[in-house]
């Protein structure tokens, strides 16, 4: 868990060093960048959490597990989204 925190923090620390030298770039300051960095990080990690099953889509086809989704009455995309959900 700690390594993920460090992995997320290192690029922001690098950019904050840049802002310490120049104070602002155009009309952006470190607070604007922090909010943007947080939104992008949240969106990226949310898409990884929800859409993880599409990473293994080829495996579903090769093993024949995709056929199980075809016999259910719901949308295939919705079923694949819900088949693997990681926190």
Q: Which helix (H) or strand (E) holds 5?
A: helix 2-22
What 3-state DSSP class applies to 28? strand
Query: Do residues 53 and 81 make contact, with C-beta atoms less than 8 angstroms apart?
Result: yes
What are the structural domain ranges in the chain? 2-83
Show pLDDT as tens, one digit a residue, over the chain (87 residues): 788 888 888 988 888 888 888 877 788 888 888 898 889 989 988 888 877 777 778 888 888 888 888 888 888 888 887 777 666
* pTM of the entire predicted model: 0.61
Sign of CA dihedral 26, 30, 36, 41: positive
Question: What stretches of the chain adopt beta strand conformation (E)?
Answer: none
């Amino acid at each position: 868990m700690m390594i993920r925190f460090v992995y997320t923090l290192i690029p922001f620390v690098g950019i904050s060093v840049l802002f310490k030298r120049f104070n602002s770039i155009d009309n952006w300051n470190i607070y604007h960048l922090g909010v943007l960095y947080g939104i992008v990080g949240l969106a990226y990690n949310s898409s990884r959490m929800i859409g993880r099953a599409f990473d293994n889509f080829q495996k579903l086809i090769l093993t024949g597990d995709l056929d199980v989704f075809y016999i259910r009455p719901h949308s295939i995309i919705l079923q694949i989204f819900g088949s693997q959900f990681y926190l």
